[in-house]
Chains A and B, each alone.
Chain A
């Protein structure tokens, strides 16, 4: 697939309607062009549930990664440490009905039905870069809504300095949870100002359709300026807390994975460089792309970390 590596993220730019209309045609054309190296089923679903979702702000004009690549290359340790196996294993997950428990420093604690959450939070599409800590990346058209808008409806109290997310714990179905590769359930967190940042998204779909189970259905987080492991999947609990929550990967290897986990080419992982990333879907002869600080979203989010030493708070 031809990846426009030269194009900068115009993330502050609201994608215009004409581009939205033309995009599907463009993707079709790109698919035909690269048919020799790509599976034929790439691109958008024609009849997806969210095919008419409007384009939201911050959506970048980027060449989207093929859907099949995004759907068959997932780090979902709840099912498997193999990126392909989770596609099959996650089929067993029942995502309806789905309740999200909201607890902690909030004026409106309780169990919220996902359907009700979606009624209050209309979805939109945003094309974001997704950068894994393993130094590969993709560009995904996510369907979802701003995380902050949802959190505000739960009326966090002034004590809510952080927000913690928890993945479903169900070892009968999530067979990976039977092994102790991580301390289950998976927990992630954001500082409240990070969570309220309009770039942070709650995601329920991708490529104009519902989220495949292996990609975190029915509800996942997407924080595009952070490494992928922050973007927790299959969320069942949201807790507002005063102190920084302990998160799964940090707990597992505190020297390797920090709480912030902002994409940063200047701070290598202790065992590998973060200067470059392999863009999935590109030809095997395409060189890796230079990783951008905050995954290219620095203009929007750098201010959140002003005065902080990012080599310490990695």
Chain B
């Protein structure tokens, strides 16, 4: 797509606002008491869902780039990743501030009894360094290591899924949908990785 710098800036702002929309809608629902009988659960689950959705969108951009043979998808990778982190942070914040009411006693009691919470915390700890090193400056400073470090997002995708599966009481429909999406997106990478390997081997022989 041949667009000038200005047009890209406008598009980025639009995408940025779209990413913020779920948050704003939830805040609006909260102000107007439309979060249902269990508002904390609604906020907590919605933020978790959006974190997972942005993670999926972020993981989809590179395959889309490869299929469309266009450069624009990767322009949004950082923003999508940061939105995944933003919603994951809100998800965690709701848990700590609203669900546990900042009670260390409740944290000590509830977290060790819940493998899914531990898995959620692990996922967040994987996303955190990616968000911290997301700036252009950090990218330059870390060089090749930056790419290696950011492969952690694949691990985070898997641990986020495990987190979801472990918390579900009985109906696995939704985590299965996310597992399908993330499975395809990571599967593509595995195929690409092995194809490259085969090509290199062929070239060498």
Distance, CA A39 to CA B101, complexed state (A): 24
Of A72, A271, A285, A286, which one neighbours B37 at CB under 8 angstroms? A72
Contact A84 B170 (CB under 8 A): no
Cβ of A278 to closest chain B Cβ, rounded Å = 7
The digit string for B16-57, where 1 denotes a CB below 8 A from any CB of A, is 000000000000001001001111110100000000000000
Contacts of B39 in A (CB 8 A): 284
Q: A134-B169, A275-B110, A285-B98 are in contact. Are A73 and B36 (CB under 8 A)?
A: yes
Q: A252-B170, A281-B37, A285-B101 are in contact. Are A271 and B106 (CB under 8 A)?
A: no
Cβ of A205 to closest chain B Cβ, rounded Å = 19
Cβ of B141 to closest chain A Cβ, rounded Å = 41
Q: Which residue of A lies closest to B116 (CB)?
A: A271
Q: Which residue of B lies closest to A287 (CB)?
A: B101
Q: A77-B170, A182-B170 are in contact. Are A276 and B110 (CB under 8 A)?
A: yes
Is A238 engaged at the interface, CB distance under 8 Å to the other chain?
no
The digit string for A269-289, where 1 denotes a CB below 8 A from any CB of B, is 101110110101100111110
Distance, CA A280 to CA B101, complexed state (A): 15
Q: A134-B169, A271-B115 are in contact. Are A287 and B109 (CB under 8 A)?
A: no
Contacts of A252 in B (CB 8 A): 170
Distance, CA A61 to CA B101, complexed state (A): 26
Contacts of B43 in A (CB 8 A): 284
Contact B109 A275 (CB under 8 A): yes
Is A268 engaged at the interface, CB distance under 8 Å to the other chain?
yes
Q: A280-B38, A287-B101 are in contact. Are A81 and B113 (CB under 8 A)?
A: no
Is A69 engaged at the interface, CB distance under 8 Å to the other chain?
yes
Contact A181 B98 (CB under 8 A): no
Is A37 engaged at the interface, CB distance under 8 Å to the other chain?
yes
Is A38 engaged at the interface, CB distance under 8 Å to the other chain?
yes
Q: Which residue of B lies closest to A75 (CB)?
A: B169
- List residues 53-98 of chain A with CB under 8 A from any CB of chain B: 68-70, 72-73, 77, 81, 83-84
Cβ of A293 to closest chain B Cβ, rounded Å = 16
Contacts of A253 in B (CB 8 A): 170
Is B114 engaged at the interface, CB distance under 8 Å to the other chain?
yes
Cβ of B114 to closest chain A Cβ, rounded Å = 5
Distance, CA A278 to CA B43, complexed state (A): 14
Of A72, A134, A268, A287, which one neighbours B103 at CB under 8 angstroms? A287
Q: A275-B109, A284-B40, A287-B101 are in contact. Are A37 and B33 (CB under 8 A)?
A: yes
Contact A288 B101 (CB under 8 A): yes
The 9 closest A-B pairs by CB, nearest first: A73-B37, A69-B37, A287-B101, A81-B171, A273-B113, A273-B110, A268-B113, A272-B114, A280-B37
Cβ of A282 to closest chain B Cβ, rounded Å = 10
Q: Which residue of B lies closest to A256 (CB)?
A: B169
Is B167 engaged at the interface, CB distance under 8 Å to the other chain?
yes
Contact B38 A73 (CB under 8 A): yes
Contact B114 A273 (CB under 8 A): yes
Distance, CA A85 to CA B114, complexed state (A): 27
Distance, CA A37 to CA B35, complexed state (A): 10
Contacts of A271 in B (CB 8 A): 113-116, 166-167
Contact B38 A136 (CB under 8 A): yes
Distance, CA A278 to CA B103, complexed state (A): 14
Cβ of B49 to closest chain A Cβ, rounded Å = 13
Distance, CA A268 to CA B167, complexed state (A): 14
Cβ of B41 to closest chain A Cβ, rounded Å = 8
Contact B170 A81 (CB under 8 A): yes
